[in-house]
């Protein structure tokens, strides 16, 4: 196996482990929010803002999206920016096929 293939495998292993960490982290966060009954409180909050079901559902979805995207942002920055720029240069890999 050539040196480039070894570096590419190591890079792929790092990237795979980040995606696995991200999946486990989001799953555990979801379980924690369910166990803490967070979504029921968010549902009540959504209905205080909008008493009709459809707008309350949209508010619920929007707030849930904001929470999960805020929590995901540091991992996304690491995996998309730091890993793609710094680690690829370290392993001398390119995006070209």
Whether pTM exceeds 0.85: no
Question: If DSSP states are collapsed to H, E and C, what string results for the chain?
Answer: CCHHHHHHHHHHHHHHHHHHHHHHHHHHHHHHHHHCCHHHHHHHHHHHHCCCHHHHHHHHHHHHHHHHHHHHHHHHHHHHHHHHHHHHHHCCCCCCC
Chain centroid to Cα 65, Å, comes to 11
pLDDT confidence of residue 69 = 92
Q: Hey, what are 83's tokens? A: 């890993």
Task: List the pLDDT tens digit at each of the 97 positions of the chain.
Answer: 788 788 888 888 888 998 899 899 999 999 999 999 999 999 999 999 998 999 999 999 999 999 999 988 988 888 778 777 776 666 666 666 5
Q: What is the pLDDT of residue 84?
A: 74
Give the pLDDT score at 37: 94
């Amino acid at each position: 196996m050539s040196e480039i293939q070894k570096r590419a495998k190591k890079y792929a292993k790092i990237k795979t482990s980040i995606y696995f960490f991200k999946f486990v982290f989001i799953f555990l966060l979801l379980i924690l929010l369910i166990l803490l009954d967070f979504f029921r409180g968010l549902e009540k909050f959504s209905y205080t803002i909008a008493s009709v079901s459809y707008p309350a559902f949209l508010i619920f979805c929007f707030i849930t999206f904001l929470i999960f995207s805020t929590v995901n942002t540091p991992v996304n920055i690491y995996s998309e920016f730091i890993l793609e720029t710094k680690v690829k240069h370290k392993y001398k890999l390119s995006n070209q096929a």
